[in-house]
Amino acid sequence: NSGNFRLEYVSTASQKITMQLYDAIGKLVYNETREMHHGANLIEMDLQNLRKGVYTFTFSTSTGIRTEKLVVQ
């Protein structure tokens, strides 16, 4: 991906979510908290200022944390 990311998150309740992105050496390069409403939520993230590489993306809610790899090309 070139740095523009879209995520769809379906929430079972209104809640805050935290999104964090770490580079290959574990440095936090993106941190954002947003309020989600019940139902489908579209999240757009402009990460074009990041260098090419593999990042670790964490998505935290009141019910848990999900971790994924994210590639910027």
User: Does residue 61 carry a pLDDT above 80?
Assistant: yes
Contacts with 27 (C-beta within 8 Å, 6 or more apart), sequence order: none
pLDDT band with cut points at 50, 70 and 90 for residue 2: low
The whole-angstrom separation of Cα 56 and Cα 67 is 7
3-class DSSP assignment, residue 1: coil
Three-class secondary structure assignment of 6-59:
EEEEEECCCEEEEEEEECCCCCEEEEEEEEECCEEEEEEEECCCCCCEEEEEEE
- pLDDT mean across residues, the chain: 91
pTM for the full model?
A: 0.82
Q: Give the pLDDT score at 5.
A: 83
Q: What is the pLDDT of residues 6-57, one digit of tens each?
A: 889 899 899 999 999 999 999 999 999 999 999 999 999 888 888 889 999 9
